[in-house]
Structure 1
Amino acid sequence: MALIIPANYDPHLTVRETQEAIKYIRDTFQKEFGKEMHLERISAPLFVTQSSGLNDNLNGVERPVQFDIAAIPGETVEVVHSLAKWKRMALKEYGFNPGEGLYTNMNAIRRDEELDNLHSCYVDQWDWEKVITKEERTIETLESTVQTIFKIIKHMEHEVWYKYPQAVKHLPEHITFITTQELADRYPDKTPKERENLITKEYGCVFLMKIGDKLTTGEPHDGRAPDYDDWQLNGDILFWYEQLNCALEISSMGIRVDEKSLEEQLKKAGCEERKNLPYHKMLLNGELPYTIGGGIGQSRLCMLLLDRAHVGEVQASLWPEDMRKICKEHKIVLL
């Protein structure tokens, strides 16, 4: 996506007011989120060892930031892409039971991200994970959890409206559920991104389900790592975003792989060698709890609720100089 400059853009808040609003949204959301979802806040790592297999491989082509640590010779250390696998290990290590879960502040560097209005090389999200029983690995569990998260985001709209009525974005009343195959059948001549935009514009907010596996066309809707989400039980929460005339992804989430789906998905992705990594061995041996989890973008949520044109208005990151210059000329102040 190239840089988009909305016509007659007005951020409504000064930079300092924006900073105050960012803090208010983050503080309020995580408190509400933890309470409604029955999650405890825990501390999480910024980096993991490559040999642990705990890093999120995303689409398998992104390069993690790597370095070594003098006191731990022979190990390559990677800045996390996300905490998708680490959280599940933490639930086991800390003795969480079904119905209990955790959330954490996750910070990552994604060096291969294409920088535009929605994408930054700095990622900040609330990563969360909850223990469920094997019987709860169902579409019903997934949809019920999505409804709860949507309700919390909708409640945040009202909270922000009380403090910043001139700046808040009004969100749709409901979230609509649709699978990637249903979407492909509906718009067979469109690209996956075009389909997402069309369906989200129509309904305002959708949960797009079953991402990662091949559609009847032989191609997947989008890439998804084979070793954390179950491709039949996952999805993205998308809001229609008028400022940029596109769908805005706020959360990627899902019920995590069990022994069977991990085996199948590693085979489909041609990554069967991962079965020898410590994390994958534990999962295949049934040593890890069954879980549901995901990430909710902190800057994306602030951007959505404050109706901003660029993610750089609500987070401090690096941007090309020409992008900074063009943005500044149109009242888009990148932090």
Structure 2
Amino acid sequence: MKQDTPSEPQKILLVTGVSGAGKTTVLKTLEDLGWETVDNFPIKLAGQLLKIPASGGENGPNIPLALGFDSRTRGFDAEALIQQIKQLQKQPNLNILTLFLDCAGVEIERRYAETRRRHPMAPDRPAMDGIALDRSVMEPFRRWAETVIDTSKLSAHDLQVAIRERFTSETSPHSIITVTSFGYSRGVPHNADLVFDLRFLRNPHWDSNLRPMTGMDAAVSEYVSADPKYDEAMNKIRDLLRFLLPLYDAQGKAYINIAFGCTGGRHRSVHVAQTFGEWLREDGFALTVSHRNLTSRPIDALEEPANGADGNKSRQDSKRT
């Protein structure tokens, strides 16, 4: 039986360059973007590697592959490897690209001096001797590569940003967003990245009819959203998140936990977390919503200190009604 061929060619990026230019940083960044990466890989074995099914299985997604190599790689011969890669590029099911990382010699020398490592091409000689030899060996790849990045003036962070901008695709995983509600009386979530305190809103706890309910109930939602300060505050928070979340995503932040807190974690924070879950999905973000203290028992002693006069006023109003 004939096997189905993937609709898209297997994307392979060959990452190479002079030693000290940032190959390890590039491969780690690609791995964070969802690529499968292999460092110091003998390119002559690429044919055998490509016969191994990807982690998604033979019929699974075509996960892009990055192979790192340089002059230290076993069996390295620049001209022979280029010819071998050209043969692989003729295969219609493969999309092979080459990224070459270059860097000024004085900057490479400084990097090796800072790390107190010896240059691999000159273990018993000055680093500049090894840098010059390495550059001459790698020059054929530099001339032939589709993409060359000079990292002389780039920090590790700058290089990561450049790689993310160039190689992030629609199939790359985005930040995993969690919207959490919680009660301050039971502590702030330890993993919260953005925390919004909702205790300025009037507290449904002091309404005897609403107290047994939660922010999941329509009556509580109506009560909270009727607060005069509600609309303006929610719109400003929404604008802030619309601005920040794409920036975190671009920086490769794997997890973002947005936490909304009220005193007990059962009414205001639950309603607002649910609301923002819907709004952010409308804005195109994928996320999950969790409520840490939704099932916690309502306790007057926990609610009153954090609400002060507002809490007492709400309680008095509820008694008059």
Q: Same fold (TM over 0.5)?
A: no
User: Going by fraction, where is helix more abundant, 1 or 2?
Assistant: 2
Which is higher, the Rg of structure 1 or of structure 2?
Answer: 2
User: Going by fraction, where is strand more abundant, 1 or 2?
Assistant: 1
Q: TM-score, normalised by structure 2?
A: 0.22
